Structure 1
Amino acid sequence: MNTLMLARWQFGITTVYHFFFVPLTIGLSALIAILQTRWLRTRDERLLRSVKFFGKLFLINFALGVATGIVQEFQFGMDWSAYSRFVGDVFGAPLAIEGLLAFFLESTFLGLWIFGWGRLPERVHLACIWLVSIGTMLSAYFILAANAWMQHPVGYRIDPVTNRAVLTDIVAVLTNSTAVIAFFHTLTAALLYGGMLLVGVSAWHLARGKFTDVLRPALRLGLVASIVATAGLLVTGDIDGKIMTTQQPMKMAAAEALYTSSKPASFSLFTIGSLDGGKEEFSVRVPGVLSFLATGSFSGKVDGIDDVQALEASRFGPGSYKPVIPVTYWSFRLMIGTGLLAGLVALVGLWWTRRGRLPQRRWFWRICTWSIALPILASSFGWIFTEMGRQPWAVYGVLTTREGVSLVSPGEVLTSLIVLSALYGVLAVVEVGLMLKYAKAGPPEVEPPAKAGDSEPRLSFAY
């Protein structure tokens, strides 16, 4: 294995691992803010206990997300220094804004929220968690703007002297159509993350008949949020697919393993191809669906892999511009399938828990608990498809991945890959252990909250 392959493996492993925490931070912070808002309006102690309970899980996830995210920044210098030199003037701008504005916003107000119980006026304290939620969303936007520039580069020029990309229009970078739709798609995915966590944790306790008065409302909120999120994912995913077809036709063709241009183009539910992914041997297809996903018309034309390859070879020079077809094909389907399955679980759960009912079927609660994994899998497969489908480009049409790798030895990259993988393995044990410990403990008992200005704030509200 050469430096390029090892660097790709390292970045892929650390990125997918880090992204386990990001959507949950975004989605859970918004749901906690909703629960606290409802508590402040109704003074229902059950809602306050839910806020305290899920707040602990949120804080554990936030801490691990920060720790793993730092590694991402270092890798641009460690493994991708040529990429960083070439696009740093452009790529660094949204990342700098994220660090200086959004991250400081969310981290500052998170501290005020943690230590502000009984010390801040209640409405000010509530505003803190809402600002944390807004901060997480802003962080996501600026990071997605940087990634979207790799998918669809805009607002730049190549300096003929230094042969580097130079930022010419920051507004174009921040309003990139790819970034805008990716942002809304990510927000809905994050809401599904948070919703299914509420569902899964609540289901585990409800199956044992514990904390019913507190966790049934949390379960219902999670179910509703998950259904809304699934609907949002379908809409934003459809728009994203059409933008992708225009900007990266090879990625859409690779998502379907469509080798020959078709009008109309069918969507395969299942395909068996050759071992090298070079041709289709057998498939089960639905007529016209791929045309609709790509063009908005059931009779639209979709360019095939072979035709796009010929076009890109004529534009960019000799070479293969095909990604690994089996990876793009199956990651695309697994993304859609696991996301829809999460929505189906939520829809059935909402129906079975209507009008104060709680099902007595243990298998139902078991499915709800294990469904926590579904949005995690859907997002992971989605990012694998997004990044693998762009290959061999680091910046589409501008810089190949091979050109962006650092001039370091395979041994050096392998060493860091092993160390980081081992470290992340330890962090995974810590994360899962802490989440299980506090999730199984259930909602805490709480006292009526102390008001701001009391000389002895009640310590039972401290985390």
Structure 2
Amino acid sequence: MNVEILARIQFAFTISFHYIYPPLSIGLGLVMVAMEGLYLKTGNKMYEDMTRFYTKIFALIFGIGVATGIVMEFEFGTNWATYSKYVGDVFGSALAAEGIFAFALESGFLGVLLFGWNKVSPRVHFFATVMVTLGSMFSAIWIVVANSWQQTPAGYHIVGSGLQARAEITDFWAMVFNPSSVTRVWHVWIGSFLSGSFLVLSISAWYIVKNKYLQFAKSAFKIALVIATISSVSQLFFGHRSAEIVSEYQPAKLAALEGHFEKSAPADMYLFGYVDKKNEKTVGLKIPKGLSFLTHGDFNAPVRGLKSFAPADRPQAPNFVFQSYHIMIAIGSFLIVLTLFSCWLWWKNALFNKRWLMILFTFSVFLPQLANQVGWYAAETGRQPWVVYGLLRTSDALSKAVTANQVIFSLILFTLVYALLFALFIYLLNKKIKYGPYGKGDIDHSPQHKIMAEEIGTL
């Protein structure tokens, strides 16, 4: 493999591993705000116990997320020096804003969240929980703004030429509110809310299947289900809006997402299929002219296909883009059905009567994570061959001094270290879940259970 492919694989691997954790912390933070808010409103100690329990899990996720995110900033300099010089003005501003307005807020109140339970009032602690959650959400804003600028550049001009060229900000707010940033921020936020809420759903469902901490688990399940349902349905609208922006500003990416080749013709919408790059055709189950209707409101409206772009300007792996996008859509659709069906069962007072459903929710924690990952794959590989769309090609963004052997060696080291970190994360997470919210053991140690047990003379 050449240096470009290896460097892209290395960055994709490190960012994919890192991206397991920020969505979890954002989503779990929102669930914790809901739990602690209910504690303040009702005075029910069980909601405080919920927040305490999930705060421990949040701290674990936050710590691993910070550790894995640092590596990527060094990769910009080691593997992508030309890119770093080109976008340094833009990325420098966005990352500085993240540090000042987001990470400082999140980490500043994290200490109160973790250690302030018996040292500050409940309202002050709730305020700290809200600030930590907002800090994590603000952090996502600036990262997505920087990435969105690469997709739809705005508020800049180019200074210099050749290897000395760089983008310089002329309008900071035009850069921040570039055409795709606001919609993509919401898209990322909602994906994060799904990740965090499904983590709580998974843990709660596991307790219910194991007949542990039942009142605690059922109450937490209902809180997370409300957030998951609203998020899954909302994602349908923001996802559609993201596709509209792609159709307007990145038509080559849209063509790859739907495997559309014809230069200018009504486009089908595929439910699933395979993109044959060599023969320039797509086969699969489709809705005839469905893409034309979704993008233009007209079944006969023409849509630009991959053949309308020079081969060098097309995404080089259209089938990978197509499959990643459709996996994301399939998971999103399944989550909508799953959450709405569960809400219907809740309304029928039959939510926790279906053991198979609780088992399904136990393993469903992986689905939002997978959707988040493949969504990013579709967005980033669909932008190729541009690292900054229409301005800087990925092949030109590489460091000129780095060699293939150096990238392979560092990739192997990263793989080993990240494998150890992931194993440690799973071990500690599993240990915290098994230990439970009230203590170790197979019976329910909740205060409500103890009172009931005392009443019937079992304690």
TM-score > 0.5, shorter chain as reference: yes
Q: Does 1:333 align with 2:335?
A: no
RMSD (Å) for aligned C-alpha atoms:
1.8
**SS where residue 353 of structure 1 aligns?**
helix
From 364, 373, 394, the equivalent of 2:357 is 364
Taking the aligned partners of 2:237 and 2:303, their CA distance within structure 1 comes to 20
Hey, what does 1:107 align to over in structure 2?
107
Tell me what 1:301 maps to. Answer: 302
Q: For each residue in 1:393-447, what CA deviation from the matched residue of structure 2 results, as whole angstroms up to 9, or x when unmatched?
A: 0100110001111121101111111111111111110111111111222222699
The reply to whether residue 379 of structure 1 matches residue 381 of structure 2 is no
- How far 1:63 moved relative to its partner? 0.7
1:277–1:326 contact (8 Å) kept in structure 2:
no
Q: Is the 8 A contact 1:206 1:212 kept in 2?
A: yes
Q: Match of 1:186, SS? A: helix
Contact kept, 8 Å, 2:205 with 2:362, in 1: the verdict is yes
Q: Which has the higher contact order (CA 8 A, sep 6+)?
A: 1
Give 1:213's aligned amino acid: Q
Q: What is the SS of the residue equivalent to 1:406? A: coil
Indicate yes or no: 2:285 matched with 1:284: yes
Cα deviation, residue 155, structure 1: 1.1
1:376 Cα deviation after fit: 0.4
Residues 275 and 322 in structure 2, CA contact (< 8 A), matched pair in contact too: no
- In 1: Cα distance, 2:203 partner to 2:37 partner: 21
> Residue deviations 1:365-397, cap 9 Å, x none?
111111000000100000000100000001001
Distance 1:171 1:78 in 2: 30
Q: Which amino acid aligns with 1:236?
A: F
Distance 2:282 2:389 in 1: 30
Question: d(CA) in 1 for partners of 2:446 and 2:206?
Answer: 25
Partner of 1:458: none
Distance 1:198 1:354, change over 3 A: farther
Q: Is 1:216 the equivalent of 2:210?
A: no
Distance 1:22 1:29, change over 3 A: same
CA distance in 2, matches of 1:416, 1:320: 30
Seen in structure 2, the aligned counterparts of structure 1 residues 356 and 42 have a Cα distance that, compared at 3 Å, is farther
Aligned to 2:5: 5
1:460 matched residue in structure 2: none
Q: Deviations over 1:39-71 (max 9, x none)?
A: 011111221121112111111111111111111
Aligned ranges for residues 46-85 of structure 1 at < 5 Å? 46-85=46-85
**In the TM superposition, what are the counterparts of 1:53-452 in structure 2 within 5 Å?**
53-160=53-160, 162-261=164-263, 263-274=265-276, 276=277, 278-280=279-281, 282-307=283-308, 309-310=309-310, 319-354=312-347, 356-407=349-400, 408-444=402-438
Counterpart-to-counterpart distance in 2, 1:111 and 1:364 = 37
After TM superposition, give the deviation of residue 85 of structure 1 in Å: 1.0
Q: CA contact under 8 A between 2:32 and 2:55: conserved in structure 1?
A: yes
Aligned 8 A contact 1:265 1:288 in 2: yes
The AA in structure 2 aligned to 1:421 is T
**TM-score, normalising length: structure 1:** 0.91
Q: What secondary structure does 2:352 align onto?
A: coil
| Closer, same or farther: CA 12–113 of 1 in aligned 2, 3 Å | same
How many residues are aligned here? 439
Deviations 1:224-265 (CA, angstroms, capped at 9, x unpaired): 111111111111111111111111000000001100045432
Residues 302-335 of structure 1, C-alpha deviations (whole Å, 9 max, x = no match)? 111101x14xx7xxxxx34333111011001001
Q: Which amino acid aligns with 2:261?
A: Y
- Report the Cα distance in structure 2 between the residues aligned to 1:155 and 1:371, rounded to whole angstroms: 41
User: Helix, strand or coil: the match of 2:180?
Assistant: helix
Runs of 5+ consecutive residues of structure 2 not aligned to the other structure = 440-444, 448-459
Structure 1 pair 297/29, CA: closer, same or farther in 2 (3 Å)? farther
Take 2:182 and 2:66, find their aligned partners in 1: how far apart are those partners? 24
CA, structure 1 residues 388+277, in 2 after alignment: closer, same or farther (shift >3 Å)?
Answer: farther
Q: Which residue of 2 aligns with 1:456?
A: none
Separation (CA, whole Å) in 2 of partners of 1:196 and 1:296: 34
DSSP-derived class of the 1:119 partner = coil
Rounded Cα–Cα distance in structure 1 between residues aligned with 2:299 and 2:221: 39
**CA shift digits 1:277-301 (9 cap, x unpaired):** 5422632211232123333444432
Task: Note the C-alpha offset of 1:358.
Answer: 4.7
CA contact (8 A) 1:277 1:325 kept: no
- Paired amino acid for 2:267: A
Q: Secondary structure at the match of 2:120?
A: coil
Change (3 A) 1:440 1:292: farther
Question: Gaps spanning 5+ residues in structure 1: where?
Answer: 314-318, 449-463
Structure 1 position 273, deviation (Å): 4.0
Deviation of 1:350 (Å) = 2.3
Q: 1:203 to 1:167 in 2, by over 3 A?
A: same
One-letter amino acid of the counterpart of residue 142, structure 1:
W
Aligned to 1:453: none
Counterparts in 2 of 1:443 and 1:298: CA distance versus 1, 3 Å: farther
Structure 2 match to 1:455: none
The code of the aligned residue for 2:206 comes to W
Between the two proteins, what is the percent identity of the paired residues? 36
How far apart are 1:348 and its partner, in Å?
A: 2.2
- What amino acid sits opposite 1:305 in the alignment? L
Calculate the TM-score normalised by the size of structure 2: 0.92
Q: Show CA shifts across 1:167-215 (max 9, x none).
A: 1111111111211110011111111111111111100010122111111
